[in-house]
Amino acid sequence: MCAAAYNSLNLWELVDELFELAQDLAPRCPVPAQAAAVAVNPVLLRLERATSLLETGEQAAADHQLGRALEAVAQARAVPLPALWVRDVEACDTALRLLVASGPGSPAGADTVTQPSHLDRLLVTALEQRDDLAAAGDLEVLPLLDAARALALLRLGRVREARVVAELLAGGATSSSSGARSFLAWVRALVLEPSAWTGAGGAYARLVSGQRWQSRRAVLVAARSIIALERLQADHRRLAQDASTDVLTGLQNRRVFEAWLTRPVRREATAALLLIDLDDFKKVNDVHERRARSGAGARRPLPASRPQRRPAPGPGRDRPGVPAARRWPH
């Protein structure tokens, strides 16, 4: 749910970090029910991020994300996937290789060859995969595959074929979670109206695209600030709990009691102090202290049907035999 929310805001960096964290935590899961989703989503995520970078003219950054997406494809293939997701991964792989092979550069380590015969084979594969995705009603990968085909054909100088494919992008239909909606319109404009990009209209489009990208980065900074604040607040709550609680018994310690003593007393408030002296408690402590400190004698939780009562704070919780105190309501 968090990943889908971040992706709808085009905060791909946060989504990527979430999935990397999920992959690191997967070995700790007895039954990793989300293993398929954790393996597949980074492929589409990085592809969408790369396409947005292409829109803004950041070719080097786009190439880097294309390379990372190809690495994610290899990882996804090692995980058992539903049939539909297998088709999606393979279609993403083809789209990625079309963008890499037809681009001005290639990411380090990518297994790509830029000879026309290689691109021809990729285009044939893409057309076959398109038919399969269309038959399955896929709204996530199909538009991206068509856009990659159109852009590759345009870069190869096969303008007529590129125009035919670009017309398929007219509807711009994608799923609600897709982060590449504007990429389809960008490719369509490049293919069908190339002259518009050389004049004032092209300058305006690039300006608006750049401003949108800067706005996205501002939202990303704000999101990271909120996440950092929530982490600090969680750390503060944990430290406050640790500072006021006995680690062995879970009871509140003397620090809490002394803090209570310093609170201003309301005139109508009533309190009582209860002193308890346990005779020969030292013997109990000498016999059971080692077991207790090793965890064997630690407090056991009460059954769910009996609500736990936490004794009020009192001095000497860590020192057996010292009187304890408790405040009683009026």
Q: pLDDT at position 318, please?
A: 42
Q: pLDDT at position 296, please?
A: 47
Q: pLDDT at position 2, please?
A: 66
Residue type (1 letter), 307:
P
φ, ψ dihedrals at 79, nearest 5°: -115, 135
What residue spans define the domains of the chain?
2-192, 198-244, 249-330
Instruction: Report the Cα 261 to chain-centroid distance in Å.
Output: 46
Q: pLDDT at position 293, please?
A: 60
Q: pLDDT at position 62, please?
A: 92
The Cα 256–Cα 258 span in angstroms is 6
Closest-CA residue to 97 (of 143, 137, 57, 43)? 43
> What is the value of pTM for the model shown?
0.69
Q: Which residues pair with 306 in a beta bridge?
A: none
What single string gives the DSSP state of each residue in 126-145?
A: HHHHHHHHHHHT-SSSHHHH
The Cα 48–Cα 133 span in angstroms is 18
pLDDT in tens, the chain (330 residues): 666 666 677 888 888 888 888 888 888 888 778 888 889 989 988 998 999 899 888 889 999 999 999 999 999 999 999 988 999 999 999 999 999 988 775 443 344 444 567 888 999 999 999 999 988 888 778 999 999 999 999 988 899 999 999 998 876 555 554 556 788 888 988 898 887 777 777 787 778 888 888 888 898 899 889 989 999 999 999 998 888 998 877 888 888 888 888 888 777 777 777 777 878 878 877 787 766 665 544 444 444 444 444 444 444 444 444 444 444 443
User: What tokens does 264 get?
Assistant: 């201003």
Q: pLDDT at position 67, please?
A: 94
